[in-house]
Amino acid sequence: LLLLALNQYLELMDFFTAIATRASAVRLIEPAPTREHLMRIIQAGTRAPDHGRLSPWRFVVIEGDKRGVLGDAIAEAARIANPNLNTEQLQRERDKAFRAPTIIVVTGKINRAHKIPESDQVLALGAAAENMFLAAHALGYGVMWKTGTPTIAPNVKAVLGIASEDPIVAYLYVGTTAAAGPVKEGPPIEQLVRWL
């Protein structure tokens, strides 16, 4: 941990090291990313390629007590989907918002009348999310990328101030790593590539 903290102050992780060591965190705790680091992470997001330079990205940052607003909405979405959930099950849903000290919701304004295809605009949001994952990792933080019901539930979008037509591509849970996930090897790339 000390080494990680030192690394954070002395020099940033080399680019390929960052990519090679990136993994989803298993458990995240305080301290939260600093405001300065959050701005750097979001800046990295907006450096993603963006067909047509439409700057579709929008971000919602949820920290501290504000996580309760998200947690209540996630629990409400679960209750709407299944009115039979008991108190304990609803509490588990609410607790999801407390998986990390900070959550960055990666969303965007898609111009559906534009000649740039909608899919390209949404891909720019995904590229931003990965840039942000890597930036947070390079700054020494742990990250989880989550989607699921909270990306589509109308009541969740409403409390976050996200229009129903705006896609959410990621809930980036960011914090200090308490349990790191394994770095997966992945299949040998020879199996995935054909050279024409």
Ligand X SMILES: Cc1cc2nc3c(=O)[nH]c(=O)nc-3n(C[C@H](O)[C@H](O)[C@H](O)COP(=O)(O)O)c2cc1C
Interacting residues toward ligand X by CB under 6 A: 23-24, 145-148, 181, 184
Q: Which amino acid does the sequence have at 31? A: P
Using the minimum distance from each CB to ligand X, give the nearer residue, 83 or 182.
Answer: 182
Cβ-contact 56, 123 below 8 angstroms: no
* Ramachandran quadrant class, 157 (left: phi over 0; alpha: psi -120 to 50; beta: rest): alpha
Q: Least distance from C-beta 91 to ligand X, angstroms?
A: 19
Q: Least distance from C-beta 94 to ligand X, angstroms?
A: 17
Using the minimum distance from each CB to ligand X, give the nearer residue, 83 or 188.
Answer: 188
Query: According to the 3-state scheme, what is the secondary structure of 72-131?
Result: HHHHHHHHHHCCCCCHHHHHHHHHHHHCCCEEEEEEECCCCCCCCCHHHHHHHHHHHHHH
Q: Least distance from C-beta 181 to ligand X, angstroms?
A: 5
Using the minimum distance from each CB to ligand X, give the nearer residue, 83 or 186.
Answer: 186
Using the minimum distance from each CB to ligand X, give the nearer residue, 113 or 192.
Answer: 192
Q: Least distance from C-beta 33 to ligand X, angstroms?
A: 18
